[in-house]
Chain A
Amino acid sequence: MLAKLEDKYVHGLINKSMQGFVTANHGNGAWAEIVHMTDIPAQGFESMLSYPDSMTDAVLDAACAYVGCTRPSLMEDIGMFLVTHPDLEAVRRLMRFGGPTFEDFILSLDEVHDRACLAVPDLTLPKISLNEAGAGQYVITTQWQVAGAISLVSGVLRAMADDYGALVALDVGPRLQSDGEILETLSVFIAEPEFAAGRSFILAERSA
């Protein structure tokens, strides 16, 4: 059983994206069912409020039960959804600020937590650390209060590899726990940085 500290909160942006994932992929009925299975607010999450992390766990468990999948596979799907769904183009763009190549992007992952805090001060994303393990090989470690962060990152990386046109192999490693925070690892191998034509990214998109 995972340790749950009462004073830990998960930002509404994260909870709202889980809600967005469920309604986009499984419909409003699925979300209503999940609300019914848990004690989350009936009107759903607000993206600019925070919620106890037990709610996030409860929603993830309920969504897994509803969809009939494991937490890692659900998290991976949410990760891909965040980068690829047309309504969330802003997320893809913010990711692409990580750098001009997929490898630059990987190297920027250890700044993601701080970058998010600069934009939305109470948004605490998983802390990501990065170790080089050879040419084009990295081991990514996530540290977060909710289990499955690494699979979320894995889904994001898979989608971002497509976005950059890179060919990568991802492999989720074992899970560790320390002081209520969960440590998870992922090994990344960039087999071909320019395998296919990626999607375009223009640094400054002028708003109309």
Chain B
Amino acid sequence: MTGAVSLGFDVLDTLMPMHILVEKSGEIVHAGPTAARLRPSHDLLGMKLLDVFNCLRPSCDGAFEDLRRLNGQLLKLQFRAAPHTRLRGLVHPLDGGQLLLNLSLGYSVVEAVSDYALTSRDFSHCDPTVEMLFLIEAKSAALSESKKLNARLDEAREAAQIQAETDALTGLHNRRAMDQRLCDMTQSRRRTEFGLMHLDLDFFKRVNDTHGHAAGDHVLLKVASILREETRSDDLVARVGGDEFVLIFPDCTDVTLLDTIAARIIARLEEPIHFGSEQCHISASIGTTVSSLYSDPDPDRMLSDADTALYQSKNLGRARHTLFKAVSATDDAVAH
């Protein structure tokens, strides 16, 4: 090769501040200013290169001679002593058996810059390490802003969903929420047994007509709080019409228990509700069905059956609870 240049250490130190010069014997004789910042000089100068570094790749069994043959290849090195920083390296054999090793921080850059308190002056102006650190910080700042936006959007979405499933007056669930829950519970994969009650207030129209709509609203709020008190937190209470409510009792198909609950709800609704100086009197008719009556429960079918039972209650003189009675336990028999 023609046209060789000979460079002094000062030039090497400027161009490649992370280089290390190794004697034929394998001893380190010189370290560039940044390489020298990685270890105290007595742990570097005069030490055998392969005592300081472990060569992870290509595998090298501690023979310095092997290193000389890796000229031009990517070396993955790691300090044997803590901090066990990983470095990338490139070796070039010089005349007279010396070896020039240039190092770079690779992906351990953030860790290493912090561990060795490196500054921008430790990197050559042509080395993009500082720009890389800038980008890492800028990207992580941008990412954290994005995460905040996502969190806010998620919150807003959740609030909108709750709003979409809530009855504005009473704060109970609405028909949409009820439909969704029934759909979830009857889906074959996630099928859950449950009791379904359809409740219609009795004499509510009279409250509105006699005492006005404000009294009617007040009564509905009171009804909502009674229904909440008389059910478990996992039960669903939905207002599905002006004075119509649906109650879903997951994992409860015990008709005796449901009958007791219905009787208790009716008794509490019959207590006089005070509105200013006036007293409002209402009651409720309830019809109930349970999912265990059906081999393949269908929400519409069950709602219709609960409704049938509810109208039986109305026809029998209101203020009572009726269980839906299938003609037979099989679906077909009920359907025909």
Contact = CB atoms under 8 A, between A and B. Distances in A.
Contacts of B134: 94, 97, 115, 119
A204 B133 CA distance: 7
Interface secondary structure of B, over-half rule:
helix
Given A97-B133, A119-B135, A119-B138, A205 B145 contact: no
A118 B152 CA distance: 26
Contacts of B146: 48
Given A100-B119, A203-B118, A204-B118, A94 B145 contact: no
Interface in A175-204: 202-204
A206 B138 contact: no
B142 interface: yes
Q: Give the bracket for the number of chain A residues in contact with chain B.
A: 20 to 34
A50 B112 CA distance: 37
Main secondary structure of the interface of A (DSSP, over half): loop
B281 to A, nearest CB: 45
A118 B135 contact: yes
B168 interface: no
Contacts of A120: 138, 142
A203 B138 contact: no
Given A47-B148, A120-B142, A204-B114, A94 B137 contact: yes
A133 to B, nearest CB: 24
B121 interface: yes
Contact of B142 (A49, A119, A202, A207): A119
A93 interface: yes
Contacts of A118: 135, 138
A205 to B, nearest CB: 7
A203 B130 CA distance: 8
Interface string A35-52: 000000000001111000
A13 interface: yes
Interface of A: 13, 46-49, 90, 93-94, 97, 99-100, 115-116, 118-120, 202-207
